[in-house]
Amino acid sequence: GHTNGVRCLMVIGSTLWSGSDDHGIRVWDILAVDSTPECIAVLEGHTGGVLSLVVAGQGVWSGSADGTIREWSVTGSRLCLRCVENTDRISVLVPMGLNHVWACGQ
């Protein structure tokens, strides 16, 4: 699991996505046979804690204390599709349309 505190959670179908102060995002199969969620993907790229997660269009967007917003495939692929840099931490993301998010932070 995560090596530091979890800051945000989001459910997509049969998966739970978690963002943490360990800078990572984990994707969990919440329908695991033994009823214990199984980590099926670890998404890395942020250099600060992951503070927010949201779905917009076909992507999952993450906001981080490192001031970046990253877009990931909704399938949980480990590849970051897009990275947008900002000067402040990103604490809230709101989906706006198919492939856009609004962000706010400090």
Q: Higher pLDDT residue, 31 or 63? A: 63
pLDDT category at 89 given cuts 50, 70, 90 is very high
pLDDT score recorded for residue 2? 93
CA–CA distance, 48 with 28 (Å, rounded to integer): 21
- Please name every residue paired with 39 in a beta bridge, in sequence order, or none if there are none: 28
Per residue in 32-64, pLDDT tens?
777 788 899 999 999 999 999 999 988 999 999
Residue-wise burial string across 16-25, b where 16 or more C-beta atoms lie within 10 A, e elsewhere: bbbbbbbbbb
Q: What are the residue ranges spanned by the domains of the chain? A: 6-105
**Class of domain 6-105 (CATH, top level):** mainly beta
Which pLDDT score is estimated for 35?
Answer: 74
pTM of the model: 0.90
Cα–Cα distance measured from residue 75 to residue 55, given in angstroms and rounded to the nearest whole number = 11
Contacts 24+ apart (CB under 8 A), 6-11: 7/49, 7/50, 7/51, 7/52, 8/50, 8/51, 8/52, 8/53, 9/53, 10/53, 10/54, 10/55, 10/60
